[in-house]
Amino acid sequence: MTTTIQAPLLGPDGRGTRAIRAVLGLLALAIVVKEAVPILTTFPVALDLIIPLQAATRWLDGGTVYLAEGFADLQLLPPFLYPPYVLPIVAPLTFLPEALVRWGWLGLSIGLATVVCRRLAMPWALIPAVILWAPMLGATWGGNVNILLFTAFVFAFHAQPRRHDLRPDPYDIDRPGIVTPRTGFLAASVASVKASQIQAWLAVLGRSPRSAFLGVVPWVLLVVVTLPLVGTELYADWLDQIRRASDPAWPAMGPSLLAYIPSGLFLVLTLASFAVAMRLRGPETAAWLGLLMLVVTPNMHDSSAIFMVPAMLLVRREFALLAVILTTTHTYQGWWLGIAIVAGAMLVGSRVPTFRAVGPDPAAV
């Protein structure tokens, strides 16, 4: 006699669960498309690229690179916040037609987003929806540098997947030989223009100081090589600009915790994230690093949330879809609730596996 054991109605593979996922999936897709249409039809393509382009133009003309006006007048472009060595890299682009640069940057951004999605085991059919998701659209259509940094992050901590079934293959960077100078370079690249995202490099440092320091050498050389061009005074101006950008009174800071809690407490949380990054262990390191960087980002915008994707792929699909819906609402409450759902599922899932994604290769805890 053969006995058939059926999964519970609301179990990980139950009919009720599948129905809930289908409803959430359709709702998420509808909201993503609805919010993407006005961005694609009214928001200038690669607008975030114009900020460093104009800064490079001012630098070439001998003007003030780090303007403070953007902090007070939200009608102006946001202030330029990247370190001075970016200027000689961007300067050649100022001699090209602006439309060509902006649309070319869009093509590169979409290409990188596609490559990253495939590296994270996403099937082709899902990628268009992911690119239309508000955070990814902010990075691609908006031309934000986060798409470059996220690409480096994913390639530092994820192997090429065997199947594209939404179960990525994160490196277990505690295994011998996994962490190399290449890993150190990619991790250092994540913090190359945003020092607050140094957690990825610190995770490498906690395992292989040699790989970490060899990985940062190219960036040190870039600073040294460009220093005769930009001078030391620009670095002092840059530090002043970073201090202005860390003022909680700046409305364009976004939903960063720095806008809600005392700056001293935010500094403590940031330093704590550095310490945690060095002590993370196991193949889920990348997912936790993405959440850490997101929570202590001093200037948080839509594109910041793409660093949450590795964690979203490790939790149950219902939680991930809820996070997609909430982070697409363009409300601060929805933003933090979406982050809290994913982080909470990761935390609880370390004790209760049903909170994590299921399949033939479940995520290691």
Q: Do the domain assignments include residue 15?
A: no
**pTM (2 d.p.):** 0.91
Q: What is the distance between the alpha carbons of residues 152 and 132, in angstroms, rounded to a whole number?
A: 21
Domain, as residue range, for 331: 42-245+253-355
12 domain residue, yes or no: no
Angle at Cα 92 formed by Cα 91 and Cα 93, nearest 5°? Answer: 90
Domain assignment of residue 23, yes or no: no
328 within a domain of the structure (yes/no): yes
Average pLDDT by stretches of 10, the chain with 365 residues:
47 71 90 93 91 94 89 80 95 95 96 97 95 94 94 95 92 89 95 91 93 95 95 93 84 83 90 92 91 90 91 92 91 90 90 69 35
Q: Decide: 204 and 212 in contact? Cβ < 8 Å.
A: yes
What lies within 8 Å, CB to CB, of 181 at 6+ separation is 210, 211, 214, 215
Q: What is the pLDDT of residue 354?
A: 80
Task: Assign 3-class secondary structure to the chain.
Answer: CCCCCCCCCCCCCCHHHHHHHHHHHHHHHHHHHHHHHHHHHHCCCCHHHHHHHHHHHHHHCCCCCCCCHHHHCCCCCCCCCCCCCHHHHHHHHHHCCHHHHHHHHHHHHHHHHHHHHHHCCCCHHHHHHHHHCHHHHHHHCCCCCHHHHHHHHHHHHEECCCCCCCCCEECCCCCCCCCCHHHHHHHHHHCCCCHHHCHHHHHHHCCCHHHHHHHHHHHHHHHHHHHHHHCCHHHHHHHHHHHHHCCCCCHHHCCCHHHCCCHHHHHHHHHHHHHHHHHCCCCCHHHHHHHHHHHCCCCCCHHHHHHHHHHHCCECHHHHHHHHHHHCCCCHHHHHHHHHHHHHHHHHHCCCHHHECCCCCCCCC
Specify if 10 maps to a domain.
no
Q: How many domains, the chain?
A: 1
Distance CA 91, CA 60 (A): 8
| Residue 18 included in any domain | no
- Rounded CA-CA distance 315/182 in Å is 29
Q: Which two tokens stand for residue 364?
A: 């290691």
Q: Is residue 33 part of a domain?
A: no
Instruction: Tell whether 179 is covered by a domain.
Output: yes
Tokens for 286, please give them.
Answer: 């990348």
pLDDT at 188: 96
Rounded distance between C-alpha atoms, residue 303 and residue 297, angstroms: 11
